[in-house]
Structure 1
Amino acid sequence: MVVALLLCAFSIFNFVGVLAQGAWKLIDQLEDPELKDLASRLPQTILHSRASNTVKKYLGAFRRWKLWAVGHNLSPIPARPHEFALYLQYIGETKGSKSAAEEACNAVSWVHSSAGLPPLLSDSFVKATLEGLRRSLAKPVVKKEPATVEMLEAIVEDAERSGSLSDLRLATACLLGFSGFMRAAEVLELRPCDCIVSGEMMKIRITGSKTDQLRQGDELLVARTKSRTCPVAMLERYMAINHISQDDQRYFFRPIQKMKSGEKLRESGRISVTCLRDLFNRKIAALGFPAREFGLHSLRAGGATAAANVKVPDRLFKRHGRWKSENAKDGYIKDSVESRLEVSKSLGL
């Protein structure tokens, strides 16, 4: 999957003309066979400077800039600051989104850097234009509400009542996301060989995460709670029903195939984040929860909020959620009324 994405990215990378600019132009003039051999593998190394999904997003944004620039007889690469500033103005007026302008800046700056050209974000004119768009297009951030234990209990109860494999799959994914403070993408990447149950706990190996820039992986511990919503017991039940062995290399959360005899997981693939989001939103709406107020990130935020409000030590809290900074961690927590009242109660008044 990653190799295919990189090969696709490489073809686009070459297409946009990066390999004929800046440092690449100088490399192309080398005559030493050994150096030429090294140079042939250098573009793929450059593509590894960002996560594969980020590269895909950047190349898409650069392609949109290229189409606009060519349509106005401008140079897409190297991009001239004053011309690119006009493109940012165009994005601001047509998209009305500061994030689209930021993505364009980051993408073209990265492509410039990949060719050994000065990044556009270092130009004062471009910086001033982007900052102006950030301020004029800024909108208040509306975060999704954290999921609650009551919501998970309702999802689990519904799965037990229906006996549906789809409902069991959703309940298992939700419990893992909540208990492990996991992002949806991390949950969907899990394989049986990544999860080892040992007595009263389960070890989960996180092989890839957006905060794991060096791809070193991480280990997550989840306790067996012996309750109806125990994530360990639910995963064991999911594995037993689907005859999944501990050393299975396939994804846990694969698409479901409907048969005359019932439902079963497909042999390969995995469901997408979009698919899981739709299943989650439809389920909580059917259970009477306001679906618009929740999303898949509500599971990570819900687990973090529940832990914070029972005063889990900060160091363990950060490690469990794999947060690198206090600001990142605090953004997930919605303090309870009781916790907030502790501030004034402690003043000695």
Structure 2
Amino acid sequence: FEAGGKRRGREGEETKSKEKRRKRGGKQGPGGARRTGALTKVWGKHGRCGKRPRDKGVKVRRDKGVGATRGLRQPVGTRGPEGVHAQAESIKEAVRARGVRKEVSEETRKFVRGLVYRWLRRKGAPTDEERVQMQCDWVERAKAPATLKAYTGAARRVQRWCIERGVGWMPMEESDYVFMLTQLAQYLEAKEKSPANMGMTQAAVAWAHGVAGEVSPTTSLMARTIVTGASKWLQGGTGQKFPIQSEDMERWKETKLGKGGTVWRSEEVRLTQFAVMKDGLMRFDDAVGVRFGDMLTLPSELRIFVSEAKTSKTKREGQWVSCVRPEREEGISAFERVLELVEKMAEAWGELTEKQRKRWAKKHPDTVVETGGKLEYSLMAVPLLGKGETVGGVYLMTAKPMGYKKLLKELKEWGKEIGREPTKMGLHSLRRGGATDLKLLGVRDTLIQEAGRWKSEKSMKKYFDWHVEIAVRVRDVREALKRAGDEGGEAKGDADLDGSEAELEAAIAEGEEHADKGRPDPGVGGQGSAVS
């Protein structure tokens, strides 16, 4: 890469690099530097890569047919359906062999270790270090990292409550547990919060006692009755975040990237991450483990292989996630430019010696993810233009991984700019928005459940607000009215009209009833279009 032409010749002479830039007419970049060469071709105005020399010994084909990436270089052997299948299989094998799993925090590991140690002592088994560590590892793997974190957090809060009041924590007496639940319910009622914490506390205490080999107090009929009563009585919100839908992504595209297609590097990268998480119905934990080598770009969709989802039955099961290209491509076209940039970095990495790689990796430990001698960037660690350094005559870009809190902060800031309430937004808003878009497009529930990797239909339906269900009912009734008129003529249409119109009026009345009860206004946060 030529990053501004730092080479200097004798006075009055023009170096070859300057002469080339002058003839090409490079575009102005940040800080007055001229953005030329491969960088301009990657981040071009129209999102397509310009012509460039072929690599020696590699045949290149630009093909827009099946199996070709839009505007990206592609070896001849990978074009066509057979090539795409082979490429997909190689991605699956590489991801499964890698076995990526998000690390749990030290606090979580310490809590699990205490439970395992208690179990071993209760059974009279040896408590040597090796045995405890091995058992802890498999206990941690039994739950998804996010679930394990939530369980240990709730269980530790109960443990602190017991310590403050001088009552036993493990095993916890039934009377103490019931008293704790009543205090928790009163607190939630005073704060107007949802009963979700009741259920989480119940599950966490049961899990902790089970791992420690103790009898859980959650089996008590009185405890279950209190949890049921709190669920019915507490009037707090559901705890679900407002969905971020396609219209929100389009507004971000216009405000952040500009209507003329201007590229604002970091904003485009962020839009890419948000779009992939929304269209792929991804949780944050799903997105963290995704690398650019796990993705397959096709003319009609972007496919990502997720190695370990929260609901995976086995670690190596994996699943393809498809991000369908809509009419207006949101962040997918931006993603392709990022993918091309990653490809260039991988090529540059291959030109370095082993010593140079180790030295650069030691200096930038957060950037390098090396597999089989290949440099890989992840979806949450995307290289940014203007941030990098030259090593061994090769320019490499650095990328600091994006953590949960930082990404959430930026999402809320972006939402505020388009009139959304930051407190009602979260990273799960992207997953909810993707599911809502599919529902309003008429996709069957079973397909949405499979795409979103939900265990049950009941879990999936929690992602749909009441206005979405009503909008779908109104649409179905109107389509039924239209079919009745088209297929059966005027007489059949009149015969079915009364019943269908009554059903339509009932759906609209139900929506008005929800609004009267003080439910969130569907017009808030860009959701009005769904109802209309």
TM-score (norm: length of structure 1) = 0.80
* Shift of residue 301, structure 1, vs aligned partner: 2.8
Task: Specify which of 355, 361, 379 is matched with residue 252 of structure 1.
Answer: 379
Q: Residue in 1 aligned with 2:112?
A: 13
**Matches for 1:92-171 after TM superposition, within 5 Å:** 92-96=185-189, 97=193, 98-141=195-238, 143-161=240-258, 163-171=263-271
Q: By how many angstroms is 1:324 displaced?
A: 3.3
CA distance in 2, matches of 1:335, 1:134: 22
Q: Secondary structure at the match of 2:232?
A: helix
SS in structure 1 opposite 2:169?
coil
1:204 aligns to what SS in structure 2?
Answer: strand
Q: How does 1:119-268 map to 2 (within 5 A)?
A: 119-141=216-238, 143-161=240-258, 163-215=263-315, 216-225=317-326, 227-229=327-329, 231-241=331-341, 243=344, 245=346, 248-254=375-381, 266-268=398-400
2:148 equivalent in structure 1:
55
CA-to-partner distance for each residue in 1:44-92, whole Å, 9 max, x for gaps?
A: 3223322223223322332332232233332111111111111222323
Report sequence identity in percent.
19
- Residue deviations 1:16-48 (CA, integer Å, cap 9, x gap): x65235x64224269xx9xx9756622332233
Q: Secondary structure at the match of 2:269?
A: helix
Which structure would you say has the larger RCO, counting Cα contacts within 8 Å and 6 or more residues apart? 1
- How far apart in 2 are the matches of 1:153 and 1:282? 16
* Aligned-partner residue type, residue 202 of structure 1: L
Contact 1:211–1:323 (CA under 8 A) maintained in structure 2: yes
Distance 1:138-1:117 versus aligned 2 partners, 3 A rule: farther
Q: Which has the larger displacement, 126-135 or 328-337?
A: 328-337
Letter in 2 for 1:178: K
Number of residue pairs the alignment of both structures matches: 340
Which residue of the partner structure matches residue 329 of structure 1? 460
Query: 1:20 is matched by which residue type in structure 2?
Result: R
Distance (Å, rounded) in 2 between the aligned partners of 1:245 and 1:256: 12
Secondary structure at the residue paired with 2:104?
helix
- What is the CA-CA distance between 1:107 and the residue it aligns to? 1.7
Q: 1:114 to 1:131 in 2, by over 3 A?
A: same
Q: Which residue of 1 aligns with 2:477?
A: 343
Q: Give the CA RMSD over aligned residues.
A: 3.7
TM-superposed CA distance for 1:230, in Å, is: 5.1
Question: Once the 2 structures are TM-superposed, how far is the Cα of residue 330 of structure 1 from its aligned partner?
Answer: 3.2
Residues 314, 99 of structure 1: alpha-carbon distance in 2 compared, 3 angstrom cutoff? closer
Which of 388, 397, 405 is matched with 1:274 structurally? 405
Residue of structure 1 aligned with 2:418, choices 267, 287, 291: 287
- Conserved in 2, the CA contact under 8 Å of 1:254 and 1:265? no
- TM-superposed deviation, 1:235: 0.8
Matching residue's letter, 2:404: V
Q: Indicate how the Cα distance of structure 1 residues 99 and 237 shifts in structure 2: closer, same or farther if over 3 A, else same.
A: same
Q: Which amino acid aligns with 2:270?
A: L
Matched residues in 1 for 2:137 and 2:223: separation? 29
Distance 1:153 1:49 in 2: 40
Give the counterpart letter for 1:9 in structure 2: T
Checking the alignment, whether the CA contact within 8 Å between 1:192 and 1:245 is kept in structure 2 is: no
The answer to whether the 8 Å contact 2:345/2:397 transfers is no
* More displaced stretch, 105-114 vs 250-259: 250-259
Structure 1 contact 196–203 (Cα < 8 Å) conserved: yes
**Alignment match, 2:436:** 305
State how far apart, in whole Å, the 1-side matches of 2:399 and 2:242 are: 35
C-alpha displacement of 1:2: 5.7
Amino acid at match of 1:342: D
What is the alpha-carbon distance in structure 2 between the residues aligned to residue 130 and residue 157 of structure 1?
A: 47
Give the stretch that moved more between structures: 231-240 or 163-172: 231-240
Say if 2:134 is the partner of 1:41. yes
Secondary structure of the residue aligned to 2:379 is: coil
Separation in 2, partners of 1:321, 1:3: 20
In the alignment, the residues of structure 2 paired with residue 20 and residue 53 of structure 1 have an alpha-carbon distance, to the nearest angstrom, of: 24
State the TM-score, normalized to the length of structure 2: 0.55
Equivalent-residue separation in structure 2 for 1:14 and 1:292 (angstroms): 35
SS of match in other structure, 1:74: coil
Residue 282 of structure 1, CA deviation:
1.7
Deviations 1:170-213 (Å, cap 9, x if unpaired)? Answer: 21122212322223443344211211224543320112322224
| More displaced 10-residue stretch of structure 1: 91-100 or 50-59 | 91-100
Q: CA deviation at 1:265?
A: 6.9
